[in-house]
Structure 1
């Protein structure tokens, strides 16, 4: 489901709504089939810069419009909606599919796996459309992979901006302290009894 931004941004700080780009781990963000390696990082920026098409953008290889974008977060997030600003002349993506908390998805995986949600996209040249998630399914998102399988007829697919609306929840789940108990003999206990000694380790 898509909708227009339903508030007047002169009276409301829209940028704060779309601030999850600050939670993206850009060092690990990646894209498959990008014409310029690393260009995917340029699409994550402040909301007020979403229409700046003079900057570097993400573009697929010539003759192959399919893109797969991996977006890891520095903390778990609750994702409410997504906004995509694509290119002109048929190069905007026309469909988007999402997978959450799955590492290492390639095109074969994306085509065979059931997406958690799919959207038909419009040519959103002014960045005023947002696509709502099924919010109950996007509550503990450590990473999201967006699959753009086709566009509006262009030889390549271009994306200038990917906006993510939501809120951060907690630290990454792979940074968890667990308690490991070890059985340690107590030298002062002459009866040979043993005590449980709690010892923390980080996994």
Structure 2
């Protein structure tokens, strides 16, 4: 109903209906970068059980699966090192835990620093986010896109929670755009002589000369 008992408070019923409609239709984001995460190569530091860190990177259809989660071990900190199979442009983040003190409260994001350790987390992050308790995974945190262009590796450092001894995470979603494939293995580097000196290449075909270094 649109009658909220606002008679005499200066708010018309039409305005109340509009607010109610907006509340009932939350903006839905597509955390589509899951398909570009190399799950088997995710490295999670301070997870209580080996391999659980990769379980929180799920498709959106499975984001409310409470059977898969990661919990920190010695303290509240968790560090995820996440490689991508392609260069991506990151535009948003979603993170969910329990509706209690174990939910992440602050995360720091680092671009293209593979094999980060906790000792490295004192460095200035590309972005720091104060996180709300969000068991349903409905809160979207926009990222500074200028900081997260052409990303091949992302590190997510959960610095603290809301006061519990351990942190628990059920879902981490990443949204953004595919940019380009990462070249696998050795990349050939070719140098070209654009204006060859004919005196230096007697008997050779006067074409651009390339040399590949390995």
User: TM-score surpassing 0.5?
Assistant: yes
Tell me the residue number matched to 1:184: none
What are the superposed Cα offsets for residues 54-91 of structure 1, whole Å, 9 maximum, x if unpaired?
23x111005x0101111110000000000001134311
* TM score, norm. by length of structure 1: 0.80
- Alignment partner for residue 124 of structure 2, among 114, 123, 130? 114
Secondary structure in 1 matching 2:210: strand
Are positions 1:97 and 2:108 aligned together? yes
Indicate if the aligned counterparts of 1:142 and 1:172 stay in contact, CA closer than 8 A: yes
Matched positions, count? 181
Q: 1:31: which partner in 2?
A: 44
TM superposition shift of 1:178:
2.5
Q: After alignment, is 22-31 or 166-175 more displaced?
A: 166-175
Give the aligned CA root-mean-square deviation in angstroms.
Answer: 2.5
Instruction: Compute the displacement of 1:199 (Å).
Output: 4.8
Task: Give TM-score, length-normalised by structure 2.
Answer: 0.76
Divergent runs of 4+, >6 A: none
Q: Within 5 A, what are the aligned runs for 1:130-145?
A: 130-145=140-155
Bigger strand fraction: 1
Q: Which runs of 5+ in 1 are unaligned?
A: 182-190
Q: Which structure is richer in relative contact order (CA contacts within 8 A, separation 6 or more)?
A: 1
- The C-alpha deviation readout for 1:95-121, integer Å capped at 9, x for no partner, is 01010011121111102x001110100
The 1:30–1:49 alpha-carbon spacing in structure 2 relative to 1, beyond 3 Å, is same
Structure 2 unaligned residues grouped into runs of 5+? 1-22, 193-200
